[in-house]
Chains A and B, each alone.
Chain A
């Protein structure tokens, strides 16, 4: 075991050498974007892991800090996260979804069968004593039936939608509503059990009115659900700035009052539609430049002096080493500042050359594609009946003209480092699509010339992406002015900052339409 002095020295080492994760007091939770699953039709009402997760998170966070701090063979943060994710995946996620589904079904059945039970039980239990149902009472039957139908349609519209994502924490409003409905129905059953079942009330009309009041109250709870779940976040309240960490691509969105996890979900959905696809090949140039900056210098210790070495304790060597490393880095920074660097020259000429090359390839590509498109012609209806000779469907036509433009297209994609985004199959499919819809060569080329949003590309670019939400505040707390959080996936991250839209004070000023009067500005000059 190491002494306390060594712990401080180890912390110093941490400061000098870059640790991959600087934030230690964050709560890491997982957001999974899943595909549309038509089988699961129910909302994730509650999660089974909700109660246990916070305690699991707290322990795990403390353990992580100790692991990275003291041992030499330290796991990086990512390894720990990956291990924890595997544990959770195997047990937690499916359990949560199925439990949520089961709870929703139970609640739904309870809600719909309760009024019917209220109406049917008197007939089953004490039919002789029951007063016969008069006209007004039967009218109330119709009312109950239609209100139940409306409630059924409304619940179907609001809740029976395929889930868009699996969020880390339980959806607070939904949980609240479920609890409210449960309490409400339970209290009605309690009253019914005590005052009607026990005393075997004969006034059937009163019972029917009681059932009608239950259905009315359920409709009002549904109204509350609409307001809380749908309407409240419609009015924009915050302006969020989302920036991608690798290339700085940024967008601004307006969001309403949402919790952090729901805001993260909204941002991710817009990310897939708006941000150009993440292309790691474009970042290699700046990384090689950065490597060159540090590689040019090497530090030699000529005199063998250790600055500021404490003389006592077993921590002597560690502290001396720490001091050495600090002075070395300072020396390197000073040297890089002083030496005359011509790397900016290289960058300038390299970029000019690259641009020229891209433009040349692009012009060759455009010419090749235009020429290829002239080789095929759409056959008219009358001609189709007359000459059934060498007729091709769009796929065959695409395959026929593709070879003449393949080389130019491949060279262009290589120059712009996009070749991994488009496969041969996808290019041919796109070509067949353009031919079918009478598109011009320029329209065909457009998706290769500019990088489009992530969803446009093949499924392996965005399928089964796991996103991690990193936030200092609890993810079920609401967005506030100045709150920041990050969304991380394996290759890159999105950093989100929020600003509140300011309160606007407006006053009015009335202008009488007759008050618009004008005069001529005269400037005459007369010679006398």
Chain B
């Protein structure tokens, strides 16, 4: 995850993940927990080296839930949800964007450290 410089565009290697929401009684659940946000304390984030990163991170994945099945991993940083940016949002806004009642499917763009390294390795191999 590259450090965000205000005013500069942020580049990252992302993976597309499509999660089908599961209906449990009256709720549609995705099967993971999020942490972070611009109103939260970024120093407590165990998933990143940059302790000023205020993005939304996946903190827990319930086993065999929709997110686990779709390939989401713990520690992933969510960059976009259904086209809505998730890098500069409050915690509550992120929750609301993910749990819109009229949507069955959420399409996430997530990034993780291993993605960047995989790209670098493949680029190195090509050369």
Contact = CB atoms under 8 A, between A and B. Distances in A.
Q: Which of A523, A524, A528 has the most CB of B within 10 A?
A: A528
A526 B35 CA distance: 7
* Chain B interface extent, by class: 10 to 19
A525 B34 contact: yes
A528 B32 contact: yes
Interface string B29-64: 110111100011101100000000000000110100
A522 B33 contact: no
A521 interface: yes
Contacts, number: 38
Given A521-B41, A522-B41, A527 B35 contact: no
A525 B59 contact: yes
Nearest to B29: A528
B20 interface: no
Interface in B47-86: 59-60, 62
A376 B91 CA distance: 81
B39 A522 contact: yes
Contact of A528 (B34, B41, B44): B34
Interface residues of A, number: 8
A527 B41 contact: no
B95 interface: yes
Contacts of B43: 521
Nearest to B59: A525
B110 interface: no
Contact of A526 (B33, B39, B41, B44): B33
A526 B95 contact: yes
A91 to B, nearest CB: 83
Contacts of A521: 41, 43-44
B98 interface: yes
A523 to B, nearest CB: 5
Contacts of A522: 39-41, 91
Nearest to A526: B95
A523 B35 contact: yes
A527 B34 CA distance: 6
Interface in A481-528: 521-528
Nearest to A522: B40
Contacts of B41: 521-523
Contacts of B99: 528
A39 to B, nearest CB: 79
Q: Which of B30, B33, B43 has the most CB of A within 10 A?
A: B33
Contacts of A528: 29-30, 32-34, 95, 98-99
B63 to A, nearest CB: 13
A358 to B, nearest CB: 56
A523 B62 CA distance: 20
Given A528-B29, A528-B95, A528-B98, A523 B44 contact: yes
B40 A526 contact: no
A521 B40 CA distance: 7
Contacts of B39: 522
B91 A524 contact: yes
A523 B44 CA distance: 8
A526 B99 CA distance: 11
A32 to B, nearest CB: 70
Contacts of B40: 522-524
B37 to A, nearest CB: 8
A526 B32 CA distance: 9
A528 to B, nearest CB: 5
Contact of A525 (B30, B60, B62, B98): B60
A524 B39 CA distance: 10
A522 B91 CA distance: 10
Nearest to A521: B41
A524 to B, nearest CB: 6
B117 to A, nearest CB: 27
Contacts of B33: 525-528
Contacts of B59: 525
B35 A525 contact: yes
Contacts of B44: 521, 523
Q: Which of B29, B39, B41, B98 has the most CB of A within 10 A?
A: B41
Nearest to B97: A528
B110 to A, nearest CB: 14
A279 to B, nearest CB: 60
A523 B51 CA distance: 13
Contacts of B32: 527-528
Given A521-B43, A527-B62, 15 more contacts: A521-B44, A522-B40, A523-B40, A524-B35, A524-B40, A524-B91, A525-B34, A525-B35, A525-B60, A526-B33, A526-B91, A526-B95, A527-B60, A528-B95, A528-B98
30 contacts: A521-B41, A521-B44, A522-B39, A522-B40, A522-B41, A522-B91, A523-B35, A523-B40, A523-B41, A523-B44, A524-B35, A524-B91, A525-B35, A525-B59, A525-B60, A526-B33, A526-B34, A526-B91, A527-B29, A527-B32, A527-B33, A527-B60, A527-B62, A528-B29, A528-B30, A528-B33, A528-B34, A528-B95, A528-B98, A528-B99
**Shortest Cβ-Cβ A-B pairs, 7 listed:** A521-B41, A527-B33, A528-B98, A525-B35, A528-B30, A523-B44, A522-B40
